[in-house]
Chains A and B, each alone.
Chain A
Amino acid sequence: MSKIKVVHYINNFFANIGGEEKADVPPEIREGKIGPGLALESSLGEEYEIVATAICGDSYFGENIEEAKETLMGMIEKYDPDLFVAGPAFNAGRYGTACGTMAKEVEEKLNIPVITGMYSENPGVDLFKQDIHIIETSISAAGMRKAMKKIADLGDKMVKEEEILSPQEEGYFERGIRVNYFNDVRGSKRAVDMLIKKMKKEEYNTEYPMPVFDRVDPMPAIKDLSKIKVALVTSGGVVPQGNPDKIESSSATKYGIYDISNLESMKKDDFMTIHGGYDRAFVTENPNLVVPLDVMREYEEEGVIGELADYFVTTTGTGTSVGNAKGFGEEFSKKLVEDGVGAVLLTST
């Protein structure tokens, strides 16, 4: 029986190609295992074989990310691996970033299990923990054997598509992925227990630490709005009658772009709202309450704005994940830029 093929990624240091002074060595790949690969292969056991080891200097990788990524991918792909292991990088920041970058890339391109390992303070942890499984390791290579054991155990489960247990049980960094399970105790009772502990100043664990939302710097002010093309975007769920693109009434996975070039106002016979989060009676009667086309045309006429874009962009806000909303925004913003839109009014219900 042929063995399960593993490709291992390490930096120049672990490949015994000098130290920091050689951190600029470009990507290469060698058949078989090297250095920490020995511990990896023995931990994985008889069924597995490290068919190749990809190597790159950390400085080279950091300074030529796109190129290094592409070159390494080409090399790795040829071995048609079933599992990709990077590092572990312990507390080496640039190495951690390289391991994370390559693991993520391999997972996306080859759609195979990937895994790496890092020390908790390695900056690569925050950069990649949401995308890939990163085993928590000790600060230095002294913990290599232990780390490789955990990497091998989890990697083996991933290859065999066995259930992956919680971060605590498997030893990887929490990826921030919310997964359902049935607790032994109902929620209200857990809340009462938590409150009693909190009042007694005893330690308790919240079941959902408050999330962080990222920020973006504001664009500078517009100097002369009368020369600007303005577009309307809404999360209020206003769509043409019949909802042609079948946008969901909640937790949307789609958005729509609809023509308004020949319209002076949003007529109730032409548009409807599918938003599942509010009483729709008012907007059903007058969709301008969400997409203010009527007054935009007046401002256009008055010359306050240069012109109104020929279309509006719409989706349902309620329950729509930030991930989806971000995806929509990235996608339609490209179109807005292409179409010369210089300002956006985004309305939410």
Chain B
Amino acid sequence: MKLELGKIMIKDVQFGEETKVEKGTLYVNKEKIKEMVLEDKRLIKADVELARPGESVRIAPVKDVIEPRVKVEGNGQVFPGIINKVKTVGEGRTHALVGSNVVTCGKIVGFQEGLIDMSGPTAKYTPFSKTNNVCVVIEGREDLETHEYEEAGRLAGLKVAAYIGEAGKKVEPDEIVTYETKPLLEQVAEYPDLPKVGYVHMLQSQGLLHDTYYYGVDAKVMVPTFMYPTEMMDGAIVSGNCVAPCDKVTTFHHFNNPVIEDLYERHGKDINFIGVVLTNENVWLMDKERSSDMTAKLCRHLGLDGVIITEEGYGNPDTDLMMNCQKVAQEDIDVVLITDEFPGRDGKSQSVADTVPEADALVSCGNGNVIEYFPPMDKVIGTLDYIETMIGGYEGSLKEDGSIEAEIQIIIASTIANGYNTLAAKGY
């Protein structure tokens, strides 16, 4: 599969009569977006607000962040099986409005939604303080059951992102990057002397606010499978979860998976990047055993020499991570893990809930328990009503002046365990 990703660099976002891209500025039609969101009768109110880098703006509680993309050539549309017909994607040409995002927010579903500061000392923890954000603020019907509300919010974000993405269809990209992975035997034959490397991508799949979808299939009912990396760049995987905010692999991150990008970077030079093994993180021990067995079996089956494994979430998913690590390593495959750490506010406790001796090569994405001060912002998009019950918040977190004291795990994707950020922890 070969995909040309055309990157259209967005430097500003404005409201306009028409949704379009002009000289690096994205214009969005507010009324059209509101209308589109309210087509779903489960949602009774919608608003659109803009947030740009450096502004004194706090967005909360954030549900998902989605980069607008559009298929220009090749099969299918973005988010197949979710808001578009099921069709294998990952081939042809896709345009992305890089530097802009759709951010869904509004009344909380659980505890798991987080916040984004567009400026100030905590902005550095999230990649979304550096993007021009179209914030879709939603409100569900009073009687809406939480699973329904989550779904309505998720679909609204994807629809709006796909709609805005259309604006990039006829725009000449600033940069085109070509990614290609061939069918297994051809790929192996292409670089016979380079070590064969795979990526084991663990999808959060624990139920409400912890689900992820692959071509519309709920990841908790799938068994591990093998996919081309470029499929993800067209939205084959979408996030339906918030886990802990810091750990959330947003739909943006599925589009822009850093492990895939960095493996492609070395592809044909130091390694032969074979593809992605997709697996889940379920709540039954039997599922964890089965999925990790199958993951190891697939890695062996594909003849891999080395594997990078990433997880989403912490606590019991650490067990999935360790089981995958151990079983893959026992197939005589070199394993590197990426995870974040929760050693307590003082940093003195164990960082992970589970361990195996095979986990001897691990990259840290930082300690999520560290407490930070979030100064008041001039504007809040969404609401701060839930700060104290959100993960990372605690009694007394929200001060009268709108400032917040909380663990950095309250920030969206601050310690995301796929290595997207530069934040890390070391032993002192």
Interface residues of A (CB under 8 A from B): 130, 164, 166-167, 174-192, 194-196, 198-199, 204, 206-211, 213, 246, 248-251, 253, 274, 276-281, 317-319, 321-324
Complex: how many Å from CA A122 to CA B112?
46
Whether the pair A176, B111 counts as a contact (CB closer than 8 A) is: no
B31 at the A interface (CB under 8 A): no
Query: Which of B14-22, B37-45, B82-90, B345-353 binds A?
Result: B345-353
B391 at the A interface (CB under 8 A): yes
Whether the pair A279, B419 counts as a contact (CB closer than 8 A) is: no
Q: Chain A residues with Cβ under 8 A from B307's Cβ?
A: 195
Q: A182-B422, A250-B244, A277-B315 are in contact. Are A198 and B306 (CB under 8 A)?
A: yes
Q: Chain B residues with Cβ under 8 A from A206's Cβ?
A: 360-362
B392 at the A interface (CB under 8 A): yes
Complex: how many Å from CA A195 to CA B271?
10
Within 8 A of A (CB), among B330-364: 334, 336-339, 341-352, 355-357, 359-364
Whether the pair B347, A178 counts as a contact (CB closer than 8 A) is: yes
Q: Chain B nearest CB: distance from A302 CB in Å?
A: 30
Q: Give 12 A-B pairs besides A207-B362, A246-B388 with Cβ atoms closer than 8 angstroms.
A: A177-B427, A178-B343, A178-B425, A178-B426, A179-B427, A186-B419, A191-B262, A210-B356, A251-B369, A279-B210, A319-B314, A319-B315
B259 at the A interface (CB under 8 A): yes
Q: How large is the interface on B (under 10, 10 to 19, 20 to 34, 35 or more residues)?
A: 35 or more
20 A-B residue pairs with CB within 8 Å? A174-B428, A178-B348, A179-B347, A179-B425, A186-B258, A186-B262, A187-B418, A188-B418, A189-B419, A192-B263, A194-B363, A208-B352, A208-B364, A211-B351, A248-B391, A253-B345, A321-B342, A321-B344, A321-B345, A321-B350
Of the candidates B306, B341, B363, which one forms a contact with A190 in the assembled complex, judged by CB atoms under 8 Å apart? Answer: B363
Of the candidates B146, B347, B392, B395, which one forms a contact with A251 in the assembled complex, judged by CB atoms under 8 Å apart? Answer: B392
Q: Chain B residues with Cβ under 8 A from A181's Cβ?
A: 423-426
Q: Chain A residues with Cβ under 8 A from B428's Cβ?
A: 164, 166-167, 174-175, 177-179
Whether the pair A188, B424 counts as a contact (CB closer than 8 A) is: no
Q: Chain A nearest CB: distance from B308 CB in Å?
A: 5
Q: Chain A residues with Cβ under 8 A from B73's Cβ?
A: none
Complex: how many Å from CA A117 to CA B100?
53
Q: Chain B residues with Cβ under 8 A from A198's Cβ?
A: 306, 334, 336, 361
Q: Chain A nearest CB: distance from B326 CB in Å?
A: 12
Q: Chain A nearest CB: distance from B203 CB in Å?
A: 16
Complex: how many Å from CA A182 to CA B424?
6
Whether the pair A196, B244 counts as a contact (CB closer than 8 A) is: no
B266 at the A interface (CB under 8 A): yes
Q: Chain A residues with Cβ under 8 A from B389's Cβ?
A: 249, 274
B207 at the A interface (CB under 8 A): yes
Chain B CB count within 10 A is highest, among A211, A274, A276, A323, for A276
**Which 5 A-B residue pairings sit nearest by Cβ, starting from the closest?**
A187-B419, A321-B344, A279-B207, A188-B419, A188-B258
Whether the pair B392, A189 counts as a contact (CB closer than 8 A) is: no
B239 at the A interface (CB under 8 A): no
B365 at the A interface (CB under 8 A): yes
Whether the pair A191, B351 counts as a contact (CB closer than 8 A) is: no
Within 8 A of A (CB), among B262-316: 262-263, 265-266, 270-271, 283, 305-308, 313-316
